[in-house]
Amino acid sequence: MTPLAARLHAALPQTQCTRCGYPDCAGYAQAMAAGEADINQCPPGGARGIVRLAGITGRPPPALNPGNGVEGPRHMAVIDEAWCIGCTLCLDACPTDAILGGNKRMHTVIEPYCTGCELCVPVCPVDCIALENVTGERTGWNAWSQAQADEALARYELRQARKLREAADHDQRMEQKARAKLADLPALTHGAEGAELARKKAVIEAALARARAKRDAG
């Protein structure tokens, strides 16, 4: 990340809501720094957020782009636990790990960690997640604080690091599994010979090559 992008990133509310059109706040900051995105695409930051970004970029502060949403109060997700089926889809969607639960078990929101990003709402198959206004008439940065943004970013980065570790562990397990199958090919192929044996060997070797490529890319 360039120094300009880092400054822009630090000025964002870190809700990771994707309403700016980018996968996270860092992506939006990098796009602004590269001149690929305007400074008025962050509804959670609102008008004050645009002024913050304008001060960094030297651009005049435009009105919030309505195509990205509208400025509003900060919301918190609330799960109707009586209707929750424990599908875990909201856990996967939450960028700050603010939802606690397990497969086929009731989920609940850890209130201080919810950024109001709204990403959990559309993925819920039983529509048991609602958004509650927790800041009244305060909107944008008036409904948020730098301390909350810092905590949200820290939790998002921890989640991203965990997901990378989990992906690396999965790739390692797949590589080990492919190696084991290749080493025990005669038993696994049940006496196959000739072209059939070569085909099965090629399939396993291709899986092993993919696993190695993913490991090397990481």
* Residues in the chain, overall count: 218
Of 68, 98, 113, the last residue of a domain is: 68
Task: Pick the closest to residue 140 from 54, 49, 51 (CA basis).
Answer: 49
Q: How many domains does the chain have?
A: 3
Tell me the pTM: 0.78
Helix segments in the chain, DSSP class H: 3-10, 25-33, 46-57, 89-93, 120-123, 146-183, 185-188, 194-217
Residue 73 to residue 61: CA distance in whole angstroms: 21
Domain span including residue 61: 3-68
Whichever domain contains 95, its CATH number is 3.30.70.20
Of 42, 68, 94, the last residue of a domain is: 68
**Does a structural domain hold residue 81?**
yes
Tens-digit pLDDT profile for the chain (218 aa)?
899 999 999 999 999 999 999 999 999 999 999 999 999 999 999 999 999 999 999 999 999 999 999 999 999 999 998 899 999 999 999 999 999 998 888 899 999 999 999 999 999 999 999 999 999 999 999 999 999 999 999 999 999 998 888 777 767 777 777 777 666 666 666 665 667 667 766 777 777 777 667 666 65
